[in-house]
A = this chain, B = another copy of it.
Amino acid sequence: MKKLTDTQIQQKLNELKTWKLNSNHQIERQFEFKDFKESMLFVNLVAYLSEKLNHHPDILILWNKVRLSVSTHDAGGITDLDFKLATLIEENLTIKRI
């Protein structure tokens, strides 16, 4: 998996909109929920999706907030796989509203 250039990352972030680059050079999004239980339901969805993709985000749970940060350790940067995971999570966000 090839590391993306800064320009490529910026292009993809422009498409994804809700994600941003963090100070650790990962792509990141923070989600907010009603309470801790809802956060945990979401984290378990993310766990399921990231196991499917065999690519896992760093996950920080702060009661009703969940912060996901993604990069590709093996490539030493951000790759297409990171955006694939972020997109997969975005596409499945509605599940939590069923």
Using a CB–CB cutoff of 8 Å, the interface residues on chain A facing chain B are: 36-37, 40, 43-44, 47, 50-51, 56, 58-63
Task: Pick the 8 closest A-B CB pairs, nearest first.
Answer: A59-B61, A40-B47, A36-B56, A60-B60, A56-B63, A58-B62, A58-B61, A37-B51
The quantity of this chain's copies bound in the complex is 2
Which residues of B sit under 8 angstroms from A36, Cβ to Cβ? 47, 50-51, 56
Interface centre among A37, A56, A60 (most CB of B within 10 A): A56
Shortest beta-carbon distance from A72 to chain B in Å:
12
Shortest beta-carbon distance from A81 to chain B in Å:
14
Which of B40, B51, B60 is close to A58, meaning CB atoms less than 8 Å apart? B60
